[in-house]
Copies of this chain bind each other. A is one copy, B any other.
């Protein structure tokens, strides 16, 4: 079954970029995740699928500590970025989030110019020492996000004036601009139509190899299309995690099979 992803397989770095071991999340009394263990590799797109409320988004937000912003959330277990525990006291959350970027469900460009949107990250982190360098970063990020050609003549226009799909690509460019190691995407296409969705999917494919990409989607077809690894969550549990082609053509777990073939009881 692995034929078609052979090339992807071949380039898997032996060392995973991020590892999660037995991660549990509690929202107050409620347990939202029951011990999830997963590896995230650079060179691979990892997709999280599962029905609403299965914990896939919750887990994603653990990976860059966005759950910190929710007071009631409590996280148990160990998540490492290149071997360092990201919940360790000496881990700086500002740096962590610079290294683990995030793209949200609804495109959320800042109400500033396209240029400023992309320059925001490098500015706050002091990544550019001159205007020219900043310009270069902005251009490079937009090019990588496949948006440069569409916006190069109107970098000073507001980011919110773009179409939904372009906004989402702008958000990706913004995330890229701080040169993260991992990019988390939380249902990045659910607010978009099929055309914009296809463009984002193509972009994700382009970015693969340079960044470790994790994408949450409740569109199974999308997971099948863009990812090389798929994790199926159900009721806060990681049911199955493996090669995407394998999951979609020959899943091992009955629950996975029932879910992807549309047998929802």
Contacts and interface: CB of A to CB of B under 8 A. Distances in A.
Interface centre among A51, A219, A264 (most CB of B within 10 A): A264
Interface residues of A, number: 16
A118 to B, nearest CB: 25
Nearest to A164: B52
A193 B51 contact: yes
A221 B194 CA distance: 11
Interface in A170-222: 193-196, 198-199, 218-221
Contacts of A89: none
Nearest to A201: B262
Given A52-B164, A221-B221, A262 B193 contact: no
Interface of A: 51-52, 164, 193-196, 198-199, 218-221, 259, 262, 264
A194 B164 contact: no
Interface centre among A52, A196, A218, A220 (most CB of B within 10 A): A52
Contacts of A220: 194
A51 B195 contact: yes
A216 to B, nearest CB: 12
B51 A262 contact: no
Contacts of A264: 194-195, 198-199
